[in-house]
Amino acid sequence: MEMTAQRLAALIAVLFVAGSALAQAPGDEFGETPAPAAEPTPQRAEGEPAAEPDADPDPDPDPSVALQLALSLGPTTEEQLDEVMASLGYDRSASVFGGDLTVLLPLARWLWVGARAQLRARGWTRDDGEGAFAFGLALLAEAEARLAVSPSLQFGLYVGGGGGLISMRLNEAVDTPAAPAFVAGGRVVVRIAKGASVFGRLEYDYFLAPDFNDSGFDLSLSGMAFAVGVEVRR
């Protein structure tokens, strides 16, 4: 047992040292291998004009902030409210669409934390009259772990939680209950230029006002969602 503990401690120490070395290694945000040490520059002759400074060998130096903008689309989850809306003559509401803006700050090269503002919406059309519409705005705290698999490709896993308001408009009246919001998903990020990337992501959104108006119904903007977006790092 004592030997096992010692081995475990040694393994942790090795991983810590290796992680520190990786964290300190130069390279861009996508984990490019560090450039070899530059040859020592020859002494400049007296009177010779100063040489232009070398171009930054790191195309994306360690960023201090990342901005993500995404558009999302996904199927709705079938709730009791949808059945009632159908019995009242509304068509099925098939999809939730929306967009979000996320700001992330690096805690480590692989770990980012920040906040997301998200908008989600869905509608119920009706053949013989005005349709109904629901949209929600939420603010979530978010954390994302990134793994660079190549200089131009990263995978990310993220979770977030927060809350917001969902507003449902029906027959020109609006009800706006509060709703908790959670998100979890994965992201594939492809670098397209210095400091700029595009990404696709698949996530589960939980954004639902339970038992709104004491009706026994949940007003839901939840569901699986696919999104595409852009990310800018500075």
Partner 1 sequence: MRTQTGRWTARAALAVVLAALACGDGAPIIQNLVTEDFEVLCGDLPCDWTLIEGDPAQARYVHTFHSGEHGIELTGSDVTVRGPGGTPQPVQISFGSIQGRLVGVCDSGNQLTVRIGLRQAFDASGPPIADTLEADFFPSDDWNETDDRTLTASSAFRDGGFGTTPFTSGFFRVTGVTIEKSGGGSCTISRLIIDDILPARADGC
Q: Could you say whether residue 80 binds partner 1 (CB under 8 A)? A: yes
The answer to whether residues 62 and 106 touch, using CB atoms and an 8 Å cutoff, is yes
The answer to whether residues 165 and 180 touch, using CB atoms and an 8 Å cutoff, is no
List b or e across 88-114, with b for residues whose CB sees 16 or more CB atoms inside 10 angstroms: eebeebeebbbebebebebeebbebeb
Q: Could you say whether residue 171 binds partner 1 (CB under 8 A)? A: yes
Site stretch for partner 1 (CB under 8 A), options 38-46, 51-59, 103-111, 171-179: 171-179
Closer Cβ to partner 1, 109 or 169, answer by number: 169
Phi, psi of 164 (to 5 degrees): -170, -155
The least distance separating partner 1 from the CB of residue 229, rounded to whole angstroms, comes to 33
Burial environment of residue 202 by CB neighbours within 10 A (0 to 12, 13 to 18, 19 or more): middle
Give 199's strand partners.
189, 229
Q: Which of residues 197-216 bind partner 1 (CB under 8 A)?
A: 212-213, 215-216
The least distance separating partner 1 from the CB of residue 135, rounded to whole angstroms, comes to 15
Closer Cβ to partner 1, 41 or 87, answer by number: 87
Site stretch for partner 1 (CB under 8 A), options 48-56, 69-77, 79-87, 137-145: 79-87
Residue 127, Ramachandran bin (φ over 0: left; ψ between -120 and 50: alpha; else beta)? alpha
Distance CA 203, CA 116 (A): 14
Judged by CB under 8 A, the number of residues near partner 1 is 22
Site string for partner 1, 86-105 (x = CB under 8 A): -xxx----------------
Binding site for partner 1 (CB under 8 A): 80-81, 83-84, 87-89, 128, 132, 168-175, 212-213, 215-217
